[in-house]
C-alpha cells in the first residue's frame, strides 16, 4: 500500500485546512477555535459520533467500519495546540496571533488526521471502529492525561492507540520508529537557596547564596556522571539562576535555580529526584543556608509497545518502502499518558530539511501530508481488514 491516490487528490484541500490552522494558533487548552473547526469537519464527514469537551477542549470522532465482526476499536491521536513563539517564517499564511505560532507542526498533525478521518468516513473499508482523537495542551499542559482522566479510553472502548509527529531531518514522507522507551520523562525543579544578604565588601557577615548555589549547580551534575547507571540515558540541565538582587555590591538574601531532568526509566527518574533533593539540602547546610525545593513532575517516559511498534513500522514500510529505527530523544511527549492506558505506538514522519521544531523559523512541510494520511488509514485498514 503506497501513498493512496485519494490523499494525493485531497492534498490541496488538506493543505488549505492546515494553512487556516497555522494562521490561527491557539495555546494549551485555549484551542476553542481549533476544536470548533475540527468538530465542524468531523460532522460534515459523516462521523457516527462527535464528542467535544474531553480534556477541556479535546474532540473525539467515532467512525464505524462496514462491519464489526472483529470487535476492535483503534484510537488515532493528533495534537492541536501551538507555542508562545513569535513567528519568523515569512509565509503568506503566517500566524495572525502575535506571540503564538504553530512551531511544532501540530497544525499538520491535525490536518493529516482530519484528512484520514474524511477518507475513512467515505470508504469505511475496515472491520471494527476507529476513534479519532484531537488533543489540546500537548506543549506542557498534559492534555493527553486530562482526556484519559475524563474516561476517554473506557467511554469509547479504545483497545490500541497510535500517534504521529513530524520530524525535521528525516526525508519528507519517510518514517522512523522504535520500540520501548522513545521520549523522555520531563520533570522540572526549582530550588531557592536562602542565605543572609549583606554588603559585598563584608562577605564574612553574610551567608552567600550565590556561592552556595554555584557549588550546588556543579554538584548536581554528579547525578548523571556518578549516580546514574552509565547505560541509562539521563540529562540534568540547570537553565535559570536568578538572584533577589541586581546590584553590583550587594550579596543577596536568596538565589533561585530552575532546570529540568530527563530520564528514560522509572528507576532512573526516582534516583534523580532523590539525589537532587539530597544534594541541594546537604550543600546548603554545608554553607549555612537553606534549600527550599520544589520538584515538579512532568510527563512520564513515552514507551512504545513491542507488538504495536512492529505493526506500525510495517504499515510505514508499505507506505514509504521502508521504516528506519529512530533514535531515542530526550524531548517529552504527553502521548505517554495514552500509552500508559493502552498498548500502542508513536511514529515519526519526515519533515525534510526544515528548521527545527520550537524555533520561529519552523514550518510544517505540506508535502508530508499524503504519506501521513496514508499511514493513518493503513493502521486502520491493515489492523482491521474488511470482512
Residue 358 labelled as part of a binding site: yes
Closest to 272 (Cα-Cα) out of 291, 299, 240, 295: 295
Cα torsion 336, 164, 375, 15: sign: positive
Residue 104 labelled as part of a binding site: yes
Residue 139 labelled as part of a binding site: yes
Closest to 333 (Cα-Cα) out of 100, 104, 95, 152: 104
Q: Which residues contact 191 (CB under 8 A, 6 or more apart)?
A: 213, 216, 256, 257, 258, 280, 291, 292, 293, 294
Residue 23 labelled as part of a binding site: no
Closest to 134 (Cα-Cα) out of 55, 65, 20, 19: 55
Residue 106 labelled as part of a binding site: yes
Residue linked to cell 531515542: 328
Mark the binding-site residues for Mn(2+), compressed into ranges: 104, 106, 139, 165, 358
Mark the binding-site residues, compressed into ranges: 104, 106, 139, 165, 358
Amino acid at each position: 500500500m503506497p501513498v493512496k491516490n485519494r490523499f494525493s487528490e485531497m492534498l490541496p484541500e488538506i493543505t488549505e485546512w492546515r494553512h487556516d490552522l497555522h494562521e490561527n494558533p491557539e495555546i494549551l487548552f485555549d484551542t476553542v477555535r481549533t476544536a470548533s473547526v475540527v468538530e465542524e469537519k468531523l460532522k460534515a464527514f459523516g462521523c457516527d459520533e462527535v464528542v467535544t469537551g474531553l480534556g477541556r477542549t479535546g474532540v473525539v470522532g467515532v467512525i464505524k467500519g462496514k462491519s464489526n465482526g472483529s470487535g476492535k476499536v483503534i484510537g488515532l491521536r493528533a495534537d492541536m495546540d501551538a507555542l508562545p513563539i513569535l513567528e519568523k517564517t515569512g509565509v503568506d499564511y503566517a500566524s495572525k496571533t502575535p506571540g503564538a505560532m504553530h512551531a511544532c507542526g501540530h497544525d499538520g498533525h491535525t490536518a493529516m488526521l482530519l484528512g484520514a478521518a474524511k477518507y475513512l468516513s467515505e470508504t469505511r473499508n475496515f472491520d471494527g471502529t476507529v476513534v479519532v482523537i484531537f488533543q489540546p495542551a500537548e506543549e506542557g499542559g498534559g492534555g493527553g492525561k486530562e482526556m484519559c482522566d475524563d474516561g476517554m479510553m473506557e467511554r469509547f472502548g479504545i483497545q490500541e492507540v497510535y500517534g504521529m509527529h513530524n520530524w525535521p531531518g528525516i526525508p519528507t514522507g519517510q518514517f522512523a520508529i522504535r520500540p520501548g522507551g522513545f521520549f523522555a520523562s520531563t520533570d522540572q525543579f526549582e530550588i531557592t537557596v536562602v542565605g543572609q544578604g549583606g554588603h559585598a565588601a563584608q562577605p564574612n557577615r553574610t551567608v552567600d547564596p550565590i556561592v552556595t548555589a554555584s557549588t550546588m549547580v556543579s554538584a548536581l551534575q554528579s547525578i548523571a556522571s556518578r549516580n546514574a547507571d552509565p547505560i541509562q540515558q539521563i540529562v540534568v540541565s540547570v537553565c535559570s539562576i536568578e538572584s533577589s538582587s541586581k546590584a553590583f555590591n550587594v550579596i543577596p538574601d536568596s538565589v533561585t535555580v530552575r532546570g529540568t531532568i530527563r530520564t528514560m526509566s522509572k528507576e532512573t527518574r526516582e534516583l534523580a529526584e532523590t539525589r537532587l533533593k539530597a544534594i541541594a539540602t546537604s550543600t546548603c547546610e554545608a554553607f549555612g543556608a537553606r534549600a527550599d525545593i520544589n520538584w515538579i513532575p512532568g510527563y512520564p517516559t513515552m514507551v512504545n509497545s513491542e507488538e504495536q511498534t512492529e505493526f506500525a513500522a510495517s504499515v510505514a514500510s508499505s507506505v514509504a518502502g521502508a521504516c528506519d529505527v529512530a533514535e531515542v530523544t530526550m524531548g517529552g511527549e504527553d502521548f505517554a499518558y495514552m500509552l500508559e492506558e493502552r498498548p500502542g505506538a508513536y511514529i515519526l514522519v519526515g519533515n525534510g530539511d526544515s528548521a527545527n521544531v520550537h524555533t520561529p523559523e519552523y514550518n510544517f512541510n505540506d508535502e508530508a501530508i499524503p504519506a501521513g494520511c496514508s499511514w493513518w488509514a493503513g493502521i486502520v485498514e491493515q489492523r482491521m481488514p474488511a470482512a
